[in-house]
């Protein structure tokens, strides 16, 4: 299926969300700019990117209110890689298009992604799309739970003898949150987030994400753990919007080439510092292990090094 067919498949869903708010004018625009530079002994990466998010309605209603909101987002990130074999491109593109609509206890979601050397090119093996529906089963002051099902469209590796592939696979929609003054737990499939002492100026956050359909080995499990010092407490007039942190993480990228059967992955483990000032986030640190893959059976360590990244976002 080409990129035009994928986009057309999502048009009715997008129009439904946009037209339902056509008479309203309180749409907020959030542009995002980010840049990351990674340098290790045998490789260098430039990772510029950005995006645009449109928000409608209250996205943080109290538990007693009925949600009625819309989010439309487009995110782009490129990867420019220095040292790479001649039969591999050195520029890759990652694009996410997403629509989420919440109405009372109903949750609708649409997603289209491309992760390759050519945006939305190459068929199912370089793209992923899904449409899903969930229903909020529990809404309380300290807990909420939404469950549902999404149908994904991609190349999952289930090939037929005639050379074709089975393109559809269901995946769960799980949105689960628990809030307390001791711990906050948030799980949005397939990502788990935990905050210890969420109301304290000294707190710990952790994130774990593992996408099973991309899983090759344990290094594909991305995570971070950060010890924070927040500059202001929960009663500050402008909220808890800034802090310093020290953490450890496993991060990386993965791309499937338009030339079917080839892919490029990299990941690195690092200790880092981070300054979160809400509108501006800057982080950087020491990479103590990195590795890259050219296909499943061709991997190599790329050494130690450092990284620095910055993100700017603003809401109009």
Q: What's the pLDDT tens digit per position in 20-45? A: 544 455 788 999 999 999 999 999 99
**pLDDT reading at 132 higher than 50:** yes
Mean pLDDT, rounded, for 3-17: 48
pLDDT in tens, 60-115: 888 888 899 999 999 999 999 998 888 899 999 999 999 999 999 999 999 999 99
H-assigned helices in the chain: 3-19
pLDDT higher than 70, residue 212: no
pLDDT in tens, 139-176: 998 999 999 999 999 888 777 787 778 889 999 999 99
Q: What is the pTM of this model?
A: 0.85
pLDDT at 256: 86
- In this predicted structure, the answer to whether residue 210 has a pLDDT above a threshold of 50 is yes
Confidence band (pLDDT; 50, 70, 90) for 194? very high
Is 3-313 CATH 2.40.160? Answer: yes
CA distances 116 to 113, 216, 254, Å, are 10, 18, 9
Q: Domain boundaries in the chain?
A: 3-313
Instruction: Look at phi and psi of residue 104 and say left if phi exceeds 0, alpha if psi is from -120 to 50, else beta.
Output: left
Cα 238–Cα 241–Cα 244 angle in degrees, nearest 5:
140
- Tokens (6 digits) for 80: 């420019």
Contacts of 118 (CB under 8 A, 6+ apart): 93, 126, 258
């Amino acid at each position: 299926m080409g990129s035009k067919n994928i986009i057309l498949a999502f048009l009715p869903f997008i129009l439904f969300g946009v037209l339902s708010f056509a008479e309203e004018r309180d749409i907020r625009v959030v542009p995002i700019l980010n840049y990351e530079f990674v340098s290790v002994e045998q490789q260098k990466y430039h990772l510029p990117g950005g995006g645009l998010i449109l928000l409608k309605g209250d996205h943080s209603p109290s538990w007693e209110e009925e949600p009625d909101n819309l989010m439309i987002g487009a995110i782009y990130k490129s990867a420019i890689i220095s040292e790479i074999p001649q039969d591999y491109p050195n520029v890759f593109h990652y694009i996410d298009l997403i629509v989420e609509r919440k109405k009372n206890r109903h949750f609708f979601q649409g997603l289209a992604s491309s992760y390759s050397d050519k945006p939305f090119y190459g068929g199912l093996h370089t793209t992923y799309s899904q449409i899903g529906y969930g229903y909020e089963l529990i809404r309380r002051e300290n807990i909420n739970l939404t469950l549902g099902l999404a149908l994904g469209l991609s190349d999952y590796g289930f090939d037929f003898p005639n050379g074709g592939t089975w393109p559809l696979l269901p995946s769960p929609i799980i949105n689960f949150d628990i809030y307390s003054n001791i711990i906050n737990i948030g799980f949005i499939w397939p990502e788990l987030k935990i905050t210890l002492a969420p109301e304290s100026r000294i707190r710990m956050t952790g994130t774990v994400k593992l996408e099973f359909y991309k899983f090759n080995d344990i290094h594909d499990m991305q995570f971070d753990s950060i010890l924070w010092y927040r500059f202001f407490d929960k009663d500050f007039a402008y909220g808890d919007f800034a802090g310093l942190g020290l953490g450890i993480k496993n991060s990386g990228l993965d791309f499937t080439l338009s030339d079917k059967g080839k892919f490029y992955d990299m990941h690195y483990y690092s200790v880092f510092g981070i300054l979160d000032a809400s509108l501006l986030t800057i982080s950087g640190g020491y990479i103590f292990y990195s590795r890259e893959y050219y296909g499943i059976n061709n991997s190599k360590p790329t050494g130690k090094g450092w990284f620095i990244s910055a993100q700017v976002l603003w809401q109009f």
